[in-house]
Amino acid sequence: MKGIQMADTPLLRDLLRTNTDYAEVFDRSKLVIPPAKKLAIVACMDARLTVEEFLGLRTGDAHIIRNAGGIVTEDAVRSLIISHELLGTREFLVINHTDCGMLTFKDKDLQDKLTKKTGVNAAKVNFHAFGDLEENVRTQVERIRTNPFLPKDIPVTGFVYDVRSGKLNRVT
């Protein structure tokens, strides 16, 4: 069996050079596994969100679980359970944001596009697109609160981060 050919793109070479510099001054080898603030966050993967920065967190303070839309998927629940049960987190946040790409399409449209492009039926792929930002936050908070494997008494708070102002707005 032939190996996969790996291409070193200019971006990859730049990232590896940066990592070499980072490793030379790396000072976080003594951080412990559990998050210091006993906090887990589900947030959108949007590149404009620097969750640690806008919450004043440092490396090692919190578990940050990111995906498109900040959706509490089965995998996010898996991470929250491990975070709580094995690593001691005692508070959860859900953070979505304004100007989210998940508001710009419908699952069916992307499923149809992928099916046409690849020739493989994509109807069962759930992208979790949504039309109402605050309602999506409430839905994700509720998924955490009602999951039988997550404690009912753990604080779960939802927010919308404003990408224009940097402000967090609580969703009730």
The per-residue pLDDT for 24 is: 93
Q: Please state the domain extents for the chain.
A: 32-102+130-171
- Whether the pTM exceeds 0.85: the reply is yes
Q: How many CB atoms lie within 10 A of CB 134?
A: 13
Q: Rounded to the nearest 5°, which phi and psi values hold at 28?
A: -115, 20
pLDDT of residue 172: 86
Question: What does the pLDDT read at residue 15?
Answer: 94
pLDDT digit string (tens) for the chain, length 172 residues: 566 667 789 999 999 999 999 999 999 899 899 999 999 999 999 999 999 999 999 999 999 999 999 999 999 999 999 999 999 999 999 999 999 999 999 999 999 999 999 999 999 999 999 999 999 999 999 999 999 999 999 999 999 999 999 999 999 8
What's the CA gap between 59 and 26, in Å, rounded? 12
Per CATH, the homologous superfamily of domain 32-102+130-171 is: Carbonic anhydrase (3.40.1050.10)
* Whole-number Å distance between alpha carbons of 139 and 150: 16
Q: Residue 120: its pLDDT value, please?
A: 98
CA distances from 139 to 68, 69, 150, 163, 169 (A): 15, 12, 16, 21, 16
Would you mind telling me the total number of residues written for the chain in this entry?
172
How far is the C-alpha of 92 from the C-alpha of 150, rounded, in Å? 11
Query: Which pLDDT belongs to residue 7?
Result: 76
Q: Please report the pLDDT score of residue 5 as a whole number.
A: 65
Q: What tokens were used for 123?
A: 């109807």
